[in-house]
């Protein structure tokens, strides 16, 4: 019980993964911004009231589903344009680290609204973003890679001490929730694949890469024409997803599992074109690489300082400050005869 109490005290008093959640917030904002930019030319056709899904039909779909969307508030083309541009600007603010948790909450609302307006062009990354962004709001994801205006710090200082003391455990709870969600995604997906015949006989990758929506012309055929690559890719996917949660529990394997996951989803984004889904998963994987990202940034900073010469002058100044200085003895007081003279 003493060990458990000590572990809980440490967990509640020391924030973990600040760099990782900050990087995840940047990447999730970038994914949303990328969606707006990629659909900018067709925004009127996809999201406008006179587009591919008429406004009346869209409002009925939202009402039947029991959900909401900012695009249902008005049938004016100017309103849909304002919502689209507003969502893009908020996504940019989240990427740059402006707006704090309020901006992150607005980003969730606008993402939900635009995805509901045109769900035919989403690739699955939206489902994870819906779940992860509220969890991310519990964390101190604006501590790094952000532009601080000082307003949040001023507000925090006005809060009672008991409320401020909850900041660290709530942050750690948010990190734990995101990590648990990612492990559940991998475990459920892996166990679901195990039940499929094409995954059991090692041919699933052959059929997936031949679907027109998931084909990279000139590259996908190089994979599905090779029996060895098909077998290795199929079985490696299942084994990786099933055992990923177990790897996360081992501290020495955690970073390697996260790196393997990033490589796995980079291949999905490249070969299958599921860019938003891949980047959203990679953003969540970054929370397991918080320490590695921090060390990499420190190394890059030192390297840059050495190249620009800044580090050399700082080292010299530090050495000069630490170099022992000779002891200055006080001058002897003049004798009485010398003073009289």
Do 271 and 215 form a contact (C-beta atoms < 8 A)?
no
Predicted confidence band of residue 62 (pLDDT cuts 50, 70, 90) = very high
Find out whether 180 and 207 touch, Cβ atoms under 8 Å. Answer: no
User: For residue 212, what pLDDT is reported?
Assistant: 85
The pLDDT, as a whole number, for residue 341 is 46
Tell whether the model's pLDDT for residue 330 goes beyond 60.
no
> Count of CB atoms within 10 A of residue 132's CB?
24
pLDDT at 193 over 80: yes
- Higher-pLDDT residue of 161 and 255 is 255
Model confidence pLDDT, tens digit, residues 248-284: 988 889 999 999 999 999 999 888 888 999 999 999 9
Q: Which residues contact 297 (CB under 8 A, 6 or more apart)?
A: 19
Q: Which residue has the higher pLDDT, 332 or 42?
A: 42
Distance CA 125, CA 214 (A): 15
pLDDT tens-digit series, residues 83-120: 999 999 999 999 999 988 899 999 999 999 999 998 88
First vs last Cα of the chain: how many Å apart? 84
| Cβ atoms < 10 Å from Cβ of 263 | 12
pLDDT computed for residue 339 by the predictor: 46
102, 149 contact by CB (below 8 A): no
Tens digits of residue pLDDT in 209-248: 888 888 888 888 888 889 999 999 999 999 999 999 999 9
What is the distance between the alpha carbons of residues 246 and 266, in angstroms, rounded to a whole number? 22
Match 């809980």 to its residue by tokens.
8
Question: 85, 137, 83: which is closest to 113 by C-alpha?
Answer: 83
Rounded CA gap, 35 and 110, in Å? 12
Tell me the C-alpha distance between 282 and 125, whole Å: 11
pLDDT at 303: 84
Q: Give the Cα-Cα-Cα angle 278, 284, 290 (nearest 5 degrees).
A: 130
Q: What is the pLDDT of residue 279?
A: 93
288 in Cβ contact with 258 (< 8 Å): yes
Residue whose pair of structure tokens reads 């002058």 in the numeric block: 313
Contact 35, 276 (CB under 8 A): yes
- For 31-68, give one letter per residue: b (16+ CB within 10 A) or e: bbbebbeebeeebeebbbbebebebeebbebbeeeeee
Question: Could you tell me the pLDDT band of residue 168, with boundaries at 50, 70 and 90?
Answer: confident
Does 206 have pLDDT greater than 60? yes
SS3 content of the chain, % helix, strand, coil (to 5): 75, 0, 25
Reported as a single tens digit per residue, the pLDDT across 16-42 is: 889 999 999 999 999 999 999 999 999
The residue among 316 and 184 whose pLDDT is bigger is 184
CA distances from residue 135 to 192, 245, 281 in whole angstroms, order as listed: 25, 19, 15
What's the whole-number average pLDDT of the chain? 85
CA–CA separation, 281 and 123 (whole Å): 12
Q: For tokens 């689209």, what's the residue?
A: 84
Residue 313 in this model has a pLDDT that exceeds 80: no
Structure tokens at 52: 């591919």
Question: Percent of the chain, pLDDT > 90?
Answer: 50
Structure token pair of residue 35: 């969606």
């Amino acid at each position: 019980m003493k060990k458990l109490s000590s572990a809980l005290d440490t967990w509640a008093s020391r924030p973990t993964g600040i760099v990782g959640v900050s990087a995840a917030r940047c990447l999730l904002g970038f994914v949303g911004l990328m969606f707006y930019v990629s659909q900018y030319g067709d925004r009127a056709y996809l999201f406008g009231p006179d587009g591919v899904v008429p406004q009346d039909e869209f409002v009925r779909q939202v009402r039947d589903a029991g959900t909401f969307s900012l695009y249902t508030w008005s049938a004016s083309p100017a309103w849909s344009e304002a919502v689209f541009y507003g969502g893009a600007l908020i996504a940019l603010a989240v990427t740059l680290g402006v707006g704090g948790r309020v901006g992150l909450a607005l980003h969730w609302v606008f993402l939900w609204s635009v995805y509901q307006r045109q769900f035919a062009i989403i690739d699955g990354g939206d489902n994870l973003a819906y779940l992860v962004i509220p969890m991310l709001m519990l964390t101190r994801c604006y501590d790094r890679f952000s532009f601080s205006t000082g307003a949040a710090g001023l507000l925090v200082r006005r809060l009672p001490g008991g409320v401020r003391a909850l900041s660290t455990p709530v942050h750690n709870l948010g990190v734990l929730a995101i990590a648990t969600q990612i492990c559940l995604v991998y475990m459920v997906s892996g166990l679901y694949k195990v039940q499929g015949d094409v995954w059991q006989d090692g041919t699933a990758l052959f059929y997936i890469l031949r679907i027109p929506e998931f084909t990279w012309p000139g590259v996908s055929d190089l994979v599905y024409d090779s029996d060895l690559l098909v077998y290795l890719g199929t079985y490696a996917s299942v084994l990786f997803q099933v055992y990923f949660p177990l790897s996360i529990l081992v501290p020495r394997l955690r970073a390697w599992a996260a790196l393997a996951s990033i490589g796995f989803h980079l291949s999905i984004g490249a070969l299958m074109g599921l860019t938003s889904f891949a980047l959203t998963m990679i953003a969540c994987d970054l929370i397991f690489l918080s320490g590695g990202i921090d060390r990499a940034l420190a190394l890059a900073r030192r390297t840059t300082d050495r190249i620009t010469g800044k580090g050399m002058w700082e080292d010299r100044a530090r050495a000069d400050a630490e170099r022992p200085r000779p002891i200055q003895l006080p001058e002897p007081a003049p004798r009485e005869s010398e003073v009289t003279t």
